[in-house]
Every structure is written in C-alpha cells, then in structure tokens.
Amino acid sequence: MIAKRTLAAAAAVTAGVLALAGCSGSGGGAGEDGDVEMTLWHNSTTGPGKEFWDQTAAAFSEENPGVTIKVQVVQNEELDGKLQTALNSGDAPDLFLQRGGGKLAAMVAAGQIKDITDAISDTAAEEIPDTTLDNLRVDDKLYGMPVAVLPGGMFYSQQVFDAAGITEAPTTIDEMSAAVEALKASGVEPIALGGKNAWPAAHWYYFFALRACSPDTMATA
C-alpha cells in the first residue's frame, strides 16, 4: 500500500500495513479539532478481501482516536488508471494499494510517493524479510509495505511424471530443472501455459526472473 506526503505522523503509524504515496492531494490533513481523515483505495471488491480492509481501517481508527480511514473500493483493472490520474491531478488518496517494480519507481521519480525508510517499526523490520521489502525499495529507500505474500501454484500429472521416471515432485529450482529435462527426454512438453489473461504468464516470468537475475539486472530490465 501507499500513502501521500501530507500524512506526516499518521502515515508513519500506518506504515506497517501500507505503502505510502507522494503528492499533496485533498484529504489526509488535520481538521481544526486536530482530527485526521485519510482515504484508502484498494481493489478487493467482495468477500474476505473487502472485509479485511474494512476491519483493518476500523481497527486502526479504534486504536488511534481522532483518525478516520475512509475506504474506497476500486475495481482491479481500473485501479492503475484511476490512481495515476489522481496522482497527476494532485488529488490522490492518502493510502493505496500499489504494485512494486517499475510503476512504483516511476511514482518515486515523479515525487508522488512518501519515503518511509525511517518510519517502520522495529517489529515490522524484524518480521518482514529484507528480500520482500526490496520489492518496495528504490535507491535503497523504502516506499511501501507488503500487505500479503501469496504463493504461486503449479499443477502436474502424476501419470506423466511416472512415465518420465520422476519419483518425487520438485521442491527447488534445481529439482524442477532436472524434472524438465526428464520430461523432455520422455517426449513430453514440460510446461504449458495459456496466458489468455496475461496474469499467470507474468507471474511465472517474475518467479523465475527474480531467482535467476541479480537486483541490478532486474533494475536495468
């Protein structure tokens, strides 16, 4: 998640859950009575995902009297476009869900994301692996915090594995490479991926590229 520059102390408190955005939008300031209202955009439109954000916002407000989080749901395919428009217009949400990588780097270069390097708690720094936080760093500065780390799955045919002499499912990259060679030798195409909606294919590229390439190579790419 991301929060904008005008958040000051309030943004620092939420940094353990969200990543921070950067330009001065309309919300996020303190009222005459000292109360603070912040806006949060996310892309979980239904079910447990939506409930998570509603409950998280309510729990944060309860633990921080005087701080209100206004939650707005934006459909996933529309989020990037609406967010960029809001950032460019100076009317961005205070906190928002954002992916790492090039899009985050571009927002940092445009001065639209808040640097939270010194704002995260010791507990968060200890519990979240550096390799995870690296996805939200630009030039060694941290601009976001992970909300969830989710696995990517792969289905396989036990019958095809048996025919290729593969006795156990691979659990490492090296074991997977060996299984691929065994499948090729048996006359089977090792991996099939339709990629009709792009996301699975993109994720598989990320999985392998992040393991095979150095951070400098990925940054250059």
- The tens digit of pLDDT for each residue in 58-108 reads 999 999 999 999 999 999 889 889 998 999 898 899 999 887 777 888 889
Q: How confident is the model at residue 28 (pLDDT cuts 50, 70, 90)?
A: low
Higher pLDDT among residues 77 and 167, named by residue: 167
d(CA 14, CA 11): 5
For the chain, what is the mean pLDDT?
Answer: 82
Task: Verify that 25 and 129 share a domain, yes or no.
Answer: yes
Q: Give a yes or no: residue 153 inside a domain.
A: no
Task: Verify that 125 and 211 share a domain, yes or no.
Answer: no
Task: Verify that 170 and 203 share a domain, yes or no.
Answer: yes
Q: Give a yes or no: residue 151 inside a domain.
A: no
In this predicted structure, what is the pLDDT of residue 134?
83
- What is the percent of the chain where pLDDT is above 90? 41
CATH label of the domain that carries residue 12: 3.40.190.10
In this predicted structure, what is the pLDDT of residue 103?
81
In this predicted structure, what is the pLDDT of residue 151?
76
- In the numeric block, which tokens belong to residue 163? 């025919």
CA atoms within 13 A on the CB side of 70: 9
- In 3D space, the residue among 110, 122, 141, 150 whose CA is nearest the CA of residue 19 turns out to be 141
Task: Verify that 113 and 167 share a domain, yes or no.
Answer: no
Higher pLDDT among residues 189 and 21, named by residue: 189
74 contacts 126 by C-beta, under 8 angstroms: no
Q: How many domains does the chain have?
A: 2
In this predicted structure, what is the pLDDT of residue 27?
47
Q: Beta strand pairing status for 137-138 and 141-142?
A: antiparallel
The neighbour count for residue 15, using CB atoms within 10 Å, is: 25
Residue 47 φ/ψ region, left for φ over 0, alpha for ψ in the -120 to 50 degree band, beta for the rest = left
Task: Verify that 202 and 132 share a domain, yes or no.
Answer: no
What residues make up the domain containing 74? 2-142
Q: Give a yes or no: residue 78 inside a domain.
A: yes
